[in-house]
A and B are shown apart, each in its own frame.
Chain A
Amino acid sequence: MAVDFKSQVQSLRPYLLRYAQLQLRSAEAAEDAVQEALVAALAGEAGFAGRSNLRTWLTGILKHKIVDAIRKSARELQPMPGEDDASEFDALFDERGHWSQAPDAWEHPEGALEQKQFLAALEKCLAGLPARTAQAFMMREHLGLDTAEICKELAITSTHCWVMLYRARMALRMCLEESWFK
């Protein structure tokens, strides 16, 4: 039974690695987080008893390891010039704050979700974001943390957090429009 548990856990390694890579960017850091999560999972098999979904359980453990890694590296990621204000999007609006060019609707966004090429385009757009902006955005949308947790781990104010998330969303919207929905 124990051997079976171990092999089941190991079989989810590729999924976990990709999950960590989406957040951490560095392959090495992702590898480390997954390794730590697997060690913790194998040591804590009893904690899994009675739960139905192994992947969900492992992802929960991994999430904690990822947040640990973010906390450790938060000081290393220096803000890029201008990364902390939203003024770069001012060009989208005129002096009265109205759209310079009103956005059109996207065609079949739901259909795009089913296409691998679209997800690849989204990954490319994410990779193009400044590191801290991407980190905050993925903590929110990939790890599913709330802004209070994000502020705490990154040691920033909630206003700062909202600005970064706004920046990330506006930049991703424009990037997807250019690369996919045009």
Chain B
Amino acid sequence: MMLACKEVMRKVSQGEDRHLAFGERVALRLHFAICRGCRNATAQLRFLRRAVRKLSETESAR
């Protein structure tokens, strides 16, 4: 069964917080193979973690 983009993004977010089951990871990969929008948005959600880490390490952003 194909996931809709909406479900994909929820799973991608959860994947940052818990270990996704094998079936969930496969479903995401299948979806990414055909959906550029979800690939882009996923890269952006994951980028947030690096961005906050950078913020944490920086003495002051101002």
Contact = CB atoms under 8 A, between A and B. Distances in A.
Contact of B45 (A14, A15, A92, A169): A169
B7 to A, nearest CB: 6
B40 A86 contact: no
Interface in A86-100: 86, 89-90, 92-93, 96-99
A106 interface: yes
Given A93-B4, A140-B17, A166 B10 contact: yes
Given A162-B17, A173-B48, A105 B43 contact: yes
A122 B52 contact: yes
B37 A102 contact: yes
Given A14-B59, A106-B44, A113 B37 contact: no
A123 B41 CA distance: 20
Contacts of A161: 17
Given A106-B47, A119-B58, A122-B52, A97 B4 contact: yes
Interface string B1-27: 000111101100110111000000000
B45 A105 contact: no
Given A113-B51, A142-B56, A172-B48, A93 B6 contact: yes
Interface string A133-146: 00000101110001
A165 B41 contact: no
A35 interface: no
Contact of A147 (B17, B36, B40, B47): B17
Contact of A165 (B17, B35, B36, B44): B17
B28 to A, nearest CB: 14
Given A146-B17, A147-B17, A93 B59 contact: no
Interface of B: 4-7, 9-10, 13-14, 16-18, 35-38, 40-41, 43-45, 47-56, 58-62
Q: Which 5 A-B pairs have the closest CB atoms?
A: A97-B4, A102-B37, A119-B61, A97-B6, A166-B13
23 contacts: A15-B59, A19-B56, A96-B4, A103-B44, A105-B40, A106-B40, A106-B44, A106-B47, A109-B44, A112-B51, A119-B58, A122-B52, A122-B61, A123-B61, A138-B52, A141-B48, A142-B56, A146-B17, A161-B17, A162-B18, A166-B9, A169-B13, A176-B51
